[in-house]
Amino acid sequence: MYAPPVQRLITELGKLPGIGQRTAQRLAFHVLRASPEDAMALADAIREVKEKIVLCEVCFNLADEPRCRICQDERRDADQICVVEEPGDVIPVERTHEYRGRYHVLGGALSPIDGVDPEDLKIGELYRRIDEGGIREVVLATNPTTTGEATALFIAEGVRERAPSVTVTRLASGLPVGGDLEYADEVTLGRALSGRRAV
């Protein structure tokens, strides 16, 4: 239906997560309508990110140097590690301005069904950081999914075995602000009740 270069662009855009055929077509036509400078800027940005972005040698967050900006920041609490599944999970935690420690990115979550075992994640590297000493708390901020919960429990057990003095905490979960009790499911409401605190 389209000229081969246009069809190739639609096909490549359609490989992006959450992008269906129609959205890929709209994006392709947007690129075609864009000025040559804007289209080349997009292409250069994609090329640059693929060439220059690496994983931080300490926490495995995205970086353009051997260490990410958070690991380089001396003002961060080096005795706290917040464990997340993917680099994109660091951003929402940072946006809260509530956490001032360092991070550890696992690169996914345990899922034996999908063939993701502990060796496939950066769990061993996390244990090495803890074994080096100086860590007071490990905050488990994996997603509240079945795989995220299993990963958090696995890591908590491993940390307790290696370093009983290290406090292991899990992000609280429960009702969202502005939510109605009437629409909350039993699991969410149960977690909100078990995680209640004094006011």
Query: pLDDT for 39-73, tens place per residue?
Result: 999 999 999 999 999 999 999 999 999 999 999 99
Q: What is the pLDDT of residue 183?
A: 79
Q: What is the pLDDT of residue 81?
A: 97
- Answer yes or no: is pLDDT of 197 > 80: no
Distance CA 111, CA 150 (A): 8
Q: What is the pLDDT of residue 199?
A: 72
Strand 54-55 relative to strand 62-63: parallel, antiparallel, unpaired? antiparallel
Cβ neighbours of 75 (radius 10 Å): 5
**Which tens digit of pLDDT belongs to each residue from 155-190?**
999 999 999 999 999 988 777 777 777 877 787 788
Judge contact between 59 and 105, C-beta under 8 A.
Answer: yes
Give residue limits of the domains in the chain: 4-52, 75-170
CATH class of 4-52: mainly alpha
- Answer yes or no: is pLDDT of 152 > 80: yes
Prediction pTM value? 0.83
**Which tens digit of pLDDT belongs to each residue from 92-140?**
999 999 999 999 999 999 998 999 999 999 999 999 999 998 999 999 9
Q: What is the mean pLDDT of the chain?
A: 93
Q: What is the pLDDT of residue 148?
A: 93
The DSSP string of 74-111 is: TTSEEEEEEEESSGGGHHHHHHTT---EEEEE-SS--B
The CB-side HSE value for 98 (13 A sphere, CA atoms) comes to 6
> Which residue is it, tokens 């359609």?
14
- Tell me which residue of 102, 106, 176 sits closest to 142, measured CA to CA: 106
Cβ neighbours of 68 (radius 10 Å): 24
Instruction: Name the DSSP letter for residue 63.
Output: E
Looking at CATH, the fold of the domain delimited by 75-170 is given as: Dna Topoisomerase Vi A Subunit; Chain: A, domain 2 (3.40.1360)
Q: What is the pLDDT of residue 89?
A: 96
Cα 139 → chain centroid: 14
Sequence-distant contacts of 173-182: CB under 8 A, at least 24 apart? 173/144
